[in-house]
Structures are given as structure tokens and as C-alpha cells.
Copies of this chain bind each other. A is one copy, B any other.
């Protein structure tokens, strides 16, 4: 976007110059992907559309992120940056891990900037097999395995998944279906009720 932005390219493979757009172009592509998937849904989003929205060549999108499914996975992951956040959630007193998980999950959904792409992910996963597969094989598996690796319990992945299922169900009822009283409940009241459940799953032997 600054002095080293190359002239716009309209076709062909990315040259070394295009690749040298570096982190700026990468970030623009991810932001564009996030917006496109959120606004148009999985099915109607294309690499070409993402490239156009980011102001880059479609080949550069492929170059950085691969297939549409891989772009989708990257766009989902950038939404809540698990690589940064999950270690922070996992660190800290083990007896309060359930509370930290509940608090992190709700904070991501309460923020309109992250809620909207997450809603798009949920919609896509429920209606499109391909999006469900990406969510399962890239996003969720990595997330669950990262959490499970830290748990000192039998069947850690199963337990991490049960915790995740509760939080996904809360997102469904609170943000998608908007069922009361859950939809208007104070996040702290939800955390107070749900944290012990999550703690039972991730903290018990």
C-alpha cells in the first residue's frame, strides 16, 4: 500500500514483484476473504472476487493461500487468531481453565467485528458440505488438538469437543436464534453458569 506497492497486475502468475507486496497484500487478501465469505456466504465467494476486493491478482491469492477451501480456513482462523489467543487461554491456573474458555468464547462472539464472520462460518457449515469439511478438518481439529494437548484427562479430544459443543450451541441460541432469556443475558451470568460445566469436561480426570 506504500512506496513498494507494485503497479496493478491484471492477469498471469504473480511475479517476484507481486509476491514482494508482502505482508500488506497478504493482510488485504485475508481481510477481503473474511468480508466476502461473511457477506456472500461460502458458496458464492470466489478466489476471483476476493482478489478483486483486495485489489490484487487472483494468482496472488492462490500463491499465498492456495485453494478456496484453504482461503476459507485462513479467513476463519484470522477471525479469532487462535495461534495468539489459545496459548494465553491455556496458560494460567488449571482450575479456572473452564472460566477462561467461556470468557474467551463469549468475548469473540460479543464483538460485532468477529461475530459477523463467525456467523457466516456457521451458516456456511450448516448449508454447505464443503464448508463443514473445512471447518472440521482445518479449523476445529487444529483448535481441539491444541487444547486437548494441554489437558491432563482421559479422552482429551472428546472432552474438548464436548466443551466446544456447548459453546457452539450457546452461539446458536444467543446469536442466531436469539432465544430469550439467553439472548439478553449478561455475559457474566452465562460465564458463571457455563464455566463449571467446561471445567468438568477439561479439568476432571
Could you list which residues of chain A lie within 8 angstroms of chain B, going by C-beta atoms? 122-123, 125-127, 132, 135-136, 140-141, 144, 155, 157-159, 161-162, 164-170, 172-174, 176-182, 185, 189-190, 193-194, 196-197, 200-201
Contact = CB atoms under 8 A, between A and B. Distances in A.
A43 to B, nearest CB: 11
Contact of A182 (B126, B132, B158, B177): B158
A109 B22 CA distance: 48
B173 A157 contact: no
A155 B173 contact: no
Contact of A169 (B136, B172, B193): B172
Contacts of A176: 125-126, 132
Contacts of A166: 165-166, 169, 197
A103 to B, nearest CB: 16
B193 A136 contact: no
Contacts of A132: 176-178
Nearest to A185: B158
Given A158-B182, A197-B197, A173 B165 contact: yes
A194 B162 CA distance: 8
A53 B70 CA distance: 42
A97 to B, nearest CB: 16
13 contacts: A123-B126, A123-B127, A125-B177, A127-B127, A132-B177, A161-B181, A165-B166, A165-B172, A165-B173, A165-B174, A169-B170, A193-B201, A197-B200
B177 A135 contact: yes
Contact of A136 (B170, B177, B181, B190): B177
